[in-house]
Amino acid sequence: MTIKSRLREIIADRNTTIYAVARDAGLNYATVHSLAGDRSRRVDLETIEKICAVLGITIGELFVHVNNEEPIAPPLR
């Protein structure tokens, strides 16, 4: 399983921008952009808390588990 960020989807649903979230949270644009693009491998809890506070969401709404296992093909006959 992999943890994926839903930040880009949430930002689009809220009709806001990565820039606005970064500004309102007092974070660097590149940090929020990286998380929105699901390219972050490590994020400070303080960063997550700030983003969640600005968007009025919980951490459970921001992240989701994704099953990334490849389906096993049936054997050839």
Q: What is the pLDDT of residues 12-67, one digit of tens each?
A: 999 999 999 999 999 999 999 999 998 888 899 999 999 999 999 999 999 998 88
pLDDT tops 60 at residue 1:
yes
pLDDT tops 70 at residue 70:
no
pLDDT of residue 40: 82
For the chain, the structural domain boundaries read: 2-66
> Which position has the higher pLDDT, 32 or 74?
32
Residues sharing a CB contact under 8 Å with residue 48, sequence separation 6 or more, in sequence order = 59, 62
Q: Which fold has domain 2-66?
A: 434 Repressor (Amino-terminal Domain) (1.10.260)
pLDDT of residue 39: 85
